Amino acid sequence: MKHIFSAFLRDEPRVLTRVTSLFARRGYNIDSLSVGATETKGISRMTFISEAPEGMADQIQRQLEKLEDVLKVINHAHEKFVDRELVLVKVRVTPENRLEIRQIAEDFRARNVDVGRQSYVFEVTGDEGKISAFIEQMRPFGIVETMRTGRVALTRGSNADMPSQVYFDGESQALEHPLTGVAND
């Protein structure tokens, strides 16, 4: 079973290396990895996909939580979540197939981000199935190159326990942040 994990990390040098080294040492494979800044200064969010049986997924989560720079880990397999991926696809075009390629792209709600005499570059955002289906539809025309970002995920519903919240009590006193332990100013 594929598990989607989100890890909140201190935004410091070598943290990514420590996390990926943990996977390498334990013999876990990372199928997809995406890292970016969050809306909270000093905290990054890493989303990664790993195929593992349930027991191994729990072990992955426990091992990650032991790392000093990892603030919180969510296994989205235990939550309702929304996930997306971005792909850029460069497709070879000819005068004869331009219209057909544009029609297929429109059907997938792909955005044309570069138009050339011999190629188009499309941007497609969606779930893994949509991305794969778009690539398969473009394959007969000649895919020059692709770049997939990897999946990102957020838990559905209330984000009251997420690090982006600013916490205040009834009198506008800053409360402690649930991940960093630091009061918001």
Q: How confident is the model at residue 78 (pLDDT cuts 50, 70, 90)?
A: confident
High-pLDDT (> 70) share of the chain, %: 85
Which CATH number applies to 82-152: 3.90.870.30, 3.30.70.1150, 1.20.140.10, 3.40.50.1220?
Answer: 3.30.70.1150
- Tell me the H-state helices in 15-127: 15-26, 54-66, 98-107
Look at residue 185 in the predicted model and tell me its pLDDT: 47
Q: In the predicted model, is pLDDT for residue 110 greater than 80?
A: yes
Which CATH number applies to 2-79: 1.10.472.10, 3.30.70.260, 3.40.1390.30, 3.30.930.10?
Answer: 3.30.70.260
Q: 126-164, pLDDT tens digit by residue?
A: 999 999 999 999 999 999 999 999 899 999 986 545 544
Domain ranges of the chain: 2-79, 82-152
Rounded to two decimals, what is the model's pTM?
0.75
Domains 2-79 and 82-152 in one fold: yes
High-pLDDT (> 90) share of the chain, %: 68
Mean pLDDT of 2-26: 91
Q: What is the mean pLDDT of the chain?
A: 86
Q: 163-183, pLDDT tens digit by residue?
A: 444 332 333 333 455 555 555
Look at residue 142 in the predicted model and tell me its pLDDT: 98
* CA gap 92, 8 in Å, rounded: 40
Which residue would you say has higher pLDDT here, 50 or 90? 90
Look at residue 169 in the predicted model and tell me its pLDDT: 35
Structure tokens at 49: 């996909």
H helix or E strand, kind and range, residue 158: none
Helices 15-26, 54-66: axis angle to 10 degrees equals 140
Q: 36-62, pLDDT tens digit by residue?
A: 999 999 999 999 998 888 888 899 999
